[in-house]
Structure 1
Amino acid sequence: MESPILSAAQMREAENAAFARGVKVEALMDQAGAGVARAVAIFFPNPGTCIVFSGKGHNGGDALVAAERLKRTGWKVEVRLAFAEDDCSELTRKKLEALRRAERGSGLDSSTTGTLNSRPPLIVLDGLLGLGAKPPLRGPIRAACRKINQLRAERGAYVFAVDIPTGLDGDSGKADRNGVIADFTVTIGFAKQGLVADGALDFVGRLEVVPLDDLRSPEKKANAIVACPPVLRGLLPRRKFSAYKNQFGRIGVVAGSKGFIGAALMTSQGALRAGAGLVEIFVPEEIYPIVAAAAPQEAMVKPAKSYRDLLKEKIDVWALGPGLGKARAAEILELIEMVKQPMVVDADGLNILAENIRTLRRCKGKRLLTPHPGEMKRLFPGKKATRAATATKFCNSFPVSLLSIVAERGRPLSYNTTGNPGMASGGMGDVLTGVCAGLAGQGLSLYDVARLGAWVCGRAAETAIFGGGQNEESLLARDVINHLGAAFDEL
């Protein structure tokens, strides 16, 4: 079952339909709060300090339920009410009282000030406003948002927005200038349109969807979806005990040039770690000795006098582009056009295509393109448009699969939910190219390859940061490779 992206009106429709079937508001609140607590534990399994900023409505109630769950697992919890307790909804007051009981007389602080004798990690739950609220922010809510952002900037707090960051419009993604800057947004039931808008990313952070069994999407056929574990889990079934290497793809890596041998190595490592049965690396003769000496022991390295010769190779899936340069562009372009097997094209492969884009209409096999924003602009220059509009128009113009937003003609746009700013460094795209090729070798469609490949690479980066001793500054592409196993394990 896919996870659709809904408008605020569609979300209200889903909730009202659940209430009409007899589902209670409190039942949804308890499920939502428990889901938020589980999301916190994904990134911070060891208890620390949680500061809850609660509004007077049900969004505050969701946050308080999450805080009560965290408290029972050893977290220190402090509450900051944006309004007087008597002004809060009856259900929100009930959840506040439940949290107090969980404190067992330890002196819950529900004031708007108070000392922050915190033990790390320090997290903040933003439960100020829910989906129904619209900017601009006013009065005590605006002051609370400023305090949350101050804690993030000055105390290094990690901010978890409950359902939606306060100050963000759930449909347009436009944000109040004082809106909460979240590191994680744990959205309830379904993702909301505003959370995936181009301008919202720096307010939303990492998106996590908490599905609720009692909520059903009113959308029969969604135009946009998010990739998350319940959806991706079935794409890679467990292997039979009788399995052998030829069943999992022979991957041909066409990458690397003088000064850029690392691109070939990381692409091949990505393919191997994604489960490829065999990996062959084809490199120019002048760098063959270096690559052969440095390549993973599990890969084969072959010199390529001419890339045209590769048309005769028995390969199941190709990974082409990282570190190639453009010195042999004509040969590369012919390879992209003529090979009949699926191909993942990245980096210099894309740069060569950008000057000969019509080649994509003549390709003999299926192609997955993995451009970053700069490469996408070179591939498809024109008037400024949203990422979604650009991806849709591109795939309607060319018969390819795309991984920026994942797009393919006739399929819903798919947004990835994992990743970290630490991935903004060299080599990450090379790893992704290899991972995608490795997955394609196991028989997945290129559309599903793109969704799964993006998710596992992003999750591997998160695991390296939140459980592997790295941070946003120190994260390297090799750390992503080393944590791919943990990411796959979650599926």
Structure 2
Amino acid sequence: MISAYTGTQIREAEKRFFQASLRSGTGAVLMQRAAYGLANAVVRELVSRGIRPYGASVAVLAGKGNNGGDGLFAAAFLAARGMRTTAVLTAGDAHPDGLAAFERAGGRTLILTDHNAGELAAAAGGADVVIDAVLGTGAQGGLRGATASLVEKMNGGAHGFVVACDIPSGVNADTGESYDPVLPADITVTFGGAKAGLLADPGADYAGRVLVIPIGIETELPLPVLRRLESADLARLLPPPARRSHKYTRGVLGIVAGSQQYPGAAVLACRGALAAGAGMVRYLGPPEATRLVRQACPEVVCGPDAVADAHVQAWLVGPGIADGDDDQLRRARDAVETGLPVAADAGALPALPDVLPPHVVLTPHGGELARLLQRYGIDLGRQGVDGATLDAVRQASERTGATVLLKGATTLVAPPSGPVFSQAEASPWMATAGSGDVLAGILGSLLAQHSDDEDKFDACGISAEQRWAAIGAMAASVHGRAGTLASGGGPVTAGAIASYLPEVMRTL
């Protein structure tokens, strides 16, 4: 499991380590470890791209703080490996020890002014590697003045692959908010622990591949603010059937979905639930959708008419429910009132009460979340949600009391308190009609299978209260993996995503 922290948490851990190291006479060790890890990452990336490190060129955009010092020390290590190194000092000054080491290694220094941004952008852009070491985790806001102009010109032209030192300059380490201009990184080499802003949009748009370099502060870190499940976590948490399992012990899911206008949503939700391992699916819906479900999914039990008459372990409500469909909205409200775990897609939101328990998992996209927040007097708008997804999903969970799964390129799942989960396995091709209905089916299926399974989560360090968010993260990860596999790098349909779910489950 990947754990991510705020910049403040990392700096406090570094401070405690630094104070201890001063007493032992090893005060500069953190910067040296970070720089060495950064330099090695650059060499590995060069080799992976078929570029011979000896004789390759590196340009470092170096600010005046410790982030710039990391970049300059790394460039000094690279110069010792036979690489041609240039430093662009964006503040006219730099970390003194880092600059001295860089110059001793034979590096060339250029000083950015208000008049030479274009010239230096061309010089830096001509290097095989660009290291962005301007702003670190403590920076407020984005790039300004000549530095902003330099990055704008680099973004407008050709340049080598970009390695961000700790975090791309202009990205907030705590929230993932970004401030233009930002130089998008191919790799972000981050130190001590991942920064939360690298695993939330829009920060993740600029981070590229994230590589965490241990520097010795890890034992000083507190509980993370964000987590990401990996394959090994899914392998431990996904529920395989026991030898004597039967359809009722494997989880029975009730689905309230579809309408006369959108009957296909019910089919896709049922397909997602069946392929994700539910032992039985019971469907409740209007005649038009019921006929389509029976034709497409003969395994699904259609009926009864009322929620109270259906014996299930969890509910999925909302996919394809049209505005004004009073019968379906009533069923959705009744499902929440059963006290069972519920996955609630956006179609059900108008029927739900303002205060909900954590075992209700809401699954909006950005626009739907903006409308939900308006119910609570928070007017962020779609742009505000997309520009600060981590803050928005936290606010939604805190206000509703529910667990909130915000769908997107990076899917965030927030419990009312505790770490947020972040998953990003999906292909951009999955932005297609019906994909969210399949995700809802997967989530409902996993809620039914995990409805009473606290011990398995506790063994992974996930509390009983936070397991609903973890189940949401599991569903998002499985969904993303299936869609990426089905896509193969090209267009994909929602039905194809559902078809590839068994293969993903088998692999995990």
Whether the 8 Å CA contact 1:288–1:301 is kept in 2: the answer is no
1:431 maps to which residue?
A: 438
TM (normalized to structure 2)? 0.67
Among all aligned residue pairs of Structure 1 and Structure 2, give the percentage whose two residues are the same amino acid: 25
2:344 maps to which residue?
A: 345
2:469 maps to which residue?
A: 447
1:5 maps to which residue?
A: 5
Whether the 8 Å CA contact 2:167–2:189 is kept in 1: the answer is yes
Q: How many angstroms does 1:344 deviate by?
A: 0.7
Whether the 8 Å CA contact 1:125–1:160 is kept in 2: the answer is yes
The equivalences for 1:357-436 within 5 A come to 357-358=353-354, 360=355, 366-381=359-374, 382-384=377-379, 391-392=393-394, 394-404=396-406, 405-419=412-426, 421-436=428-443
2:195 maps to which residue?
A: 192
Whether the 8 Å CA contact 1:59–1:127 is kept in 2: the answer is no
Structure 1 residue 477 and structure 2 residue 494: aligned?
yes
2:334 maps to which residue?
A: 335
1:178 maps to which residue?
A: 181
Structure 1 residue identity aligned to 2:359: K
Whether the 8 Å CA contact 1:184–1:206 is kept in 2: the answer is yes
Structure 1 residue identity aligned to 2:436: G
2:245 maps to which residue?
A: 244
Whether the 8 Å CA contact 2:34–2:215 is kept in 1: the answer is no
CA distance in 2, matches of 1:36, 1:375: 41
SS at match of 1:300: coil
CA distance in 2, matches of 1:233, 1:379: 30
Whether the 8 Å CA contact 1:58–1:91 is kept in 2: the answer is no
CA distance in 1, matches of 2:346, 2:32: 50
2:271 to 258, 269, 272: 269
Q: How many angstroms does 1:80 deviate by?
A: 7.3
CA distance in 2, matches of 1:160, 1:241: 47
Whether the 8 Å CA contact 1:29–1:65 is kept in 2: the answer is no
CA distance in 2, matches of 1:486, 1:93: 55
The equivalences for 1:159-308 within 5 A come to 161-170=164-173, 175-182=178-185, 185=188, 187-192=190-195, 194-195=197-198, 200-201=202-203, 204=206, 208=210, 210=212, 212=214, 214-216=216-218, 218=220, 220-222=222-224, 224-229=225-230, 232-233=233-234, 235-236=236-237, 239=240, 242=243, 244-246=245-247, 247-295=249-297, 300-304=299-303, 306=305, 308=306
Whether the 8 Å CA contact 1:317–1:440 is kept in 2: the answer is yes
CA distance in 1, matches of 2:101, 2:246: 57
Q: How many angstroms does 1:322 deviate by?
A: 0.6
2:312 to 311, 315, 332: 315
1:127 maps to which residue?
A: 132
Show CA shifts across 1:331-388 (max 9, x none). 32443233343111103112333xxx24x55x8x932111223323433421335655
Q: Which runs of 5+ in 1 are unaligned?
A: 72-76, 98-110, 119-123
CA distance in 2, matches of 1:179, 1:266: 39
CA distance in 2, matches of 1:261, 1:64: 60
Assess, with a 3 A threshold, how the Cα gap between structure 1 residues 318 and 469 changes in structure 2: closer, same or farther.
same
TM (normalized to structure 1)? 0.69
2:156 maps to which residue?
A: 150
Show CA shifts across 1:460-490 (max 9, x none). 555666xx122xxx35434544555676688
CA distance in 1, matches of 2:74, 2:231: 23
CA distance in 2, matches of 1:345, 1:426: 18
SS at match of 2:218: coil
SS at match of 2:14: helix
Assess, with a 3 A threshold, how the Cα gap between structure 1 residues 115 and 338 changes in structure 2: closer, same or farther.
closer
CA distance in 1, matches of 2:254, 2:74: 49
Show CA shifts across 1:297-322 (max 9, x none). xx62344473x1x4222222222211
Q: How many angstroms does 1:449 deviate by?
A: 0.8
CA distance in 1, matches of 2:304, 2:239: 40
CA distance in 2, matches of 1:186, 1:464: 31
SS at match of 2:343: strand
Show CA shifts across 1:103-127 (max 9, x none). xxxxxxxx927879x9xxxxx7653
Q: How many angstroms does 1:275 deviate by?
A: 3.2
Structure 1 residue 324 and structure 2 residue 321: aligned?
yes
CA distance in 1, matches of 2:217, 2:328: 52
Q: CA RMSD in A?
A: 4.8
